[in-house]
Amino acid sequence: MGANDAPSDTPVPDTSTEPQAAPKARRPREGTKQATLIAMLRTPDGATIEEIMAAAGWQSHYADFRIMPM
């Protein structure tokens, strides 16, 4: 409705200010390389590239590429 429009009897849509439920956090499937990598990185000491390579069966150039976006 603009500044020059007269009010109408049309009901106003419900614009509730209640917070919406947050979307569920995505979790990787159990047993995947992604789940293994995340579990390794969440340990108190983290994980080295060598440990990740051994656990995932990756070569060093691939491990670097996979981890870089994180």
Look up residue 62 and give its two tokens.
């691939």
pLDDT digits (tens, 9 = 90+) for 7-20: 677 776 666 676 77
pLDDT digits (tens, 9 = 90+) for 23-60: 777 776 888 888 888 899 899 999 888 898 898 888 87
Domain assignment present for residue 57? The answer is: yes
- The structure's pTM equals 0.51
The answer to whether the CB of 58 falls within 8 A of the CB of 51 is no
Q: What residues make up the domain containing 61?
A: 33-67
Hey, is 37 helix, strand or coil? helix
Hey, is 16 helix, strand or coil? coil
Total domains, the chain: 1
Closest alpha carbon to 66 in 29, 42, 38:
38
pLDDT at 66 over 70: no
Domain assignment present for residue 38? The answer is: yes
Domain assignment present for residue 47? The answer is: yes
What's the confidence (pLDDT) of residue 1? 56
pLDDT-derived band at 22 (thresholds 50, 70, 90) equals confident
